[in-house]
Amino acid sequence: MDGHSLPAGEADEHPSADDLLLWVLVWSELAAFGILLAGFLVVGVIQADAFAIARSQLNPLLAGVNTVVLLTSGWQAALATRPVASIAARRRALVLAALFGFAFVAIKLFEYSTEVAVAGLPQFGAFFELYFLITGFHLMHVAFGSAVLLLVAWRPSPGNIALITTLWHVIDVVWIVMFPIVYLV
């Protein structure tokens, strides 16, 4: 018997295959970013002077603005999960979450445009290689997630909303951890 054929109270007690897939995705994302950030921290200790000089080339204010943009997107995604929200309200929240996600992408690309000119200089060591790898990987997640938010807004089933908003919040958490490690440490 699957979770969909159980009475309402019992269905919540038995995780479905969709729930398992969701948590496999969540933990794999967290593990991948955890490994990347750990590597960044280790190389940062080994090349402390180069990392300090390279970090001075970043724009933490712009990254801070991007943090607010991404968290606002996450707030909109959370609004889409409210059980009392109408379909129209869920769609609106998902579209706004996606638009804030795309705004994050645009700001990050602008930030990259100012950093790419200095990225290859030897005095920065491996900083910019790791910086672009980690932030670029996150940026791809934000861009793809924003597109999926729009797709789910088009066909907002509760399962799809739960899936994308959970993954979206993981993307938020990754950025919240990444921001101080990359820009402020």
Burial class (CB in 10 A: 0-12, 13-18, 19+), 39: middle
Half-sphere exposure of 133 (CA within 13 A, CB side): 12
Residue 93 belongs to domain with CATH number: 1.20.120.80
Residue 8 lies in a domain: no
Number of domains in the chain: 1
Tokens standing for residue 81 = 């999960």
C-alpha–C-alpha distance, residues 8 and 30, integer Å: 31
Question: 10 Å Cβ neighbour count for 33?
Answer: 21
pLDDT at 149: 97
C-alpha–C-alpha distance, residues 61 and 16, integer Å: 43
Residue 164 lies in a domain: yes
Q: pLDDT tens across 97-134, in order?
A: 999 999 999 999 999 999 998 988 888 989 999 999 99
Place of tokens 């993981």: 170
Range of the domain at 147: 16-184
pLDDT in tens, the chain (185 residues): 344 443 444 444 445 666 888 888 899 999 999 999 999 999 999 999 999 999 999 999 999 999 999 999 999 999 999 999 999 999 999 999 999 999 999 999 999 999 998 988 888 989 999 999 999 999 999 999 999 999 999 999 888 999 999 999 999 999 999 999 999 98
pLDDT at 16: 64
Give the H or E element holding residue 58.
none
Residue 9 lies in a domain: no
Residue 120 lies in a domain: yes
Kindly write down the DSSP assignment for every residue of 152-180, as one continuous string: HHHS--HHHHHHHHHHHHHHHHHHHHHHI
Residue 28 lies in a domain: yes
Residue 46 lies in a domain: yes
Residue 59 lies in a domain: yes
Residue 158 lies in a domain: yes
pLDDT at 77: 97
**First-residue to last-residue Cα distance in the chain:** 52
C-alpha–C-alpha distance, residues 133 and 20, integer Å: 28
Angle at 173 between CA 117 and CA 76, to 5 degrees: 100
Which residue from 5, 39, 82, 76 is spatially nearest to 182, judged by alpha carbons?
39
User: CA Rg, the chain, in Å?
Assistant: 19
